[in-house]
Amino acid sequence: MKAVVVTGHKQGYKVQDVSDPKPEKGELVVKVDRAALCYRDTLQLKGFYPRMKYPVILGHEVVGTVEQVGEDVTQFKEGDKVISLLYAPDGECEYCRAGEEAYCHHRLGYSEELDGFFAEKAKLKVTSVIKVPSGASDEGAVLVPCVTGMVYRGLTRAKLKKGETILVTGASGGVGIHAIQVAKAMGAKVIGVTTSQEKADAVGKFADHVIVGKEFSSEAKKISDINVIVDTVGTPTLEEDLKSLWMGGRIVQIGNVDPSAPFNLKLGYVILKDIEIIGHASATKKDAEGALKLTAEGKINPVIAGTLPLEEVDKGYELLKDKSKVGKVLLKP
Ligand SMILES: [Zn+2]
Ligand SMILES: [Zn+2]
């Protein structure tokens, strides 16, 4: 089969033929229906993910159709439509048993220790697999593990209450445009912040208010008390986040555009305003199911910047970096 393979540390990737995966005990093989490109891939290619084995198939966001199941797999059968968490937990430890498998000591990451999903077929550990309900499209389902389910868990961790006001930075990005919709579906009022006037219209389709510009705090505070911020950008927006929040506010920190850039935190903002900064990375099965339900109900509408075949993955990354585009970039092998 064809696959996008990372050959070594900071070596880039190649589209090449590799052997088809075979499911072992506790595994299944899916035909990849859609895979999604992610900013994280670019960080992986820059060498920020020390757990990567090489060669490894790139890509950690997938929806597929089960083709083969390995020994002892009873929960899934051929023809099932499924997604996968970004990692495979062991399914046995105290965290896994408590439904907090994101904290499993023995978790293995797809596109890290395990092959990822930019391929015609992919092998999944059954501990990471979630069935897609009818009513959810491939485009909606593929966004769950790294985008909508991840945001769903972030807002759950931030104890978002109905009627609270949330601000989303990087609102036109692949995560931002969907974070707005997850927050709305969870009952929040949403302000989207974007840096470009051209993309304000796209953000305005989903958000209640749109702010254009890098210094958004004074305008945000005029609209409402800001209770929660989903920051999909990182160090460039964090200072304005802290200024924007009303007392008791929470920041769900998802983005980190430059992992090497430190942030000079003024503790006064955090202490005197009772602010919580919640670092946040992934979803558990429970969150993925929550986001899949909202997707199947039509409350989250996937915004897709483009869908390309595997061979055009280069073009996909150009789209991902193209600041005039809104939404996620998908591969359809
Ligand atoms: Zn991702
Ligand atoms: Zn575990």
Ligand number, closest to the Cα atom of 60? 1
The Å distance, Cα 176 to ligand 2 centre, comes to 30
Q: How far is CA 132 from CA 92, 263, 322, in A?
A: 23, 39, 31
At residue 196, the pLDDT reads 87
The Å distance, Cα 106 to ligand 2 centre, comes to 6
Ligand number, closest to the Cα atom of 89? 2
The Å distance, Cα 206 to ligand 2 centre, comes to 37
**Distance in angstroms (rounded) separating the CA atoms of residues 106 and 125:** 13
Q: Indicate the residue type of 156.
A: T
The Å distance, Cα 225 to ligand 1 centre, comes to 31
pLDDT tens, per residue, the chain with 333 residues = 999 999 999 999 999 999 999 999 999 999 999 999 999 999 999 999 999 999 999 999 999 999 999 999 999 999 999 999 999 999 999 999 999 999 999 999 999 999 999 999 999 999 999 999 999 999 999 999 999 999 999 999 999 999 999 999 999 989 999 999 999 999 999 999 999 888 999 999 999 999 999 999 999 999 999 999 999 999 999 999 999 999 999 999 999 888 888 999 989 989 999 999 999 998 999 999 999 999 999 999 999 999 999 999 999 999 999 888 889 999 999
Kindly list the structural domains of the chain, giving each domain's residue range(s) and its CATH number in brackets, ordered by start: 2-143+302-331 (3.90.180.10), 148-279 (3.90.180.10)
**Distance in angstroms (rounded) separating the CA atoms of residues 285 and 100:** 9
Contact 78, 66 (CB under 8 A): yes
Contact 86, 109 (CB under 8 A): yes
**Distance in angstroms (rounded) separating the CA atoms of residues 333 and 314:** 14
| Ramachandran class of 240: left when φ > 0, alpha when ψ lies in -120 to 50, beta otherwise | alpha
At residue 257, the pLDDT reads 83
What is residue 102's three-state secondary structure?
helix
The Å distance, Cα 144 to ligand 2 centre, comes to 21
Ligand number, closest to the Cα atom of 284? 2
DSSP string, 115-157: --SSBSEEEEEGGGEEEPPTT--HHHHHTIIIIIHHHHHHHHH
The Å distance, Cα 23 to ligand 2 centre, comes to 21
Q: How far is CA 187 from CA 181, 183, 190, in A?
A: 10, 6, 9
Ligand number, closest to the Cα atom of 90? 2
**Distance in angstroms (rounded) separating the CA atoms of residues 160 and 44:** 31
The Å distance, Cα 283 to ligand 2 centre, comes to 14
DSSP string, 41-99: HHHHHTT--TT--SSEE----EEEEEEEE-TT--S--TT-EEEE-SEE--S-SHHHHTT
Ligand number, closest to the Cα atom of 282? 1
Ligand number, closest to the Cα atom of 93? 2
At residue 92, the pLDDT reads 96
Tokens of 248: 């008791």
Ion ligand 2 — residues with CB < 5 Å:
89-90, 93, 96, 104
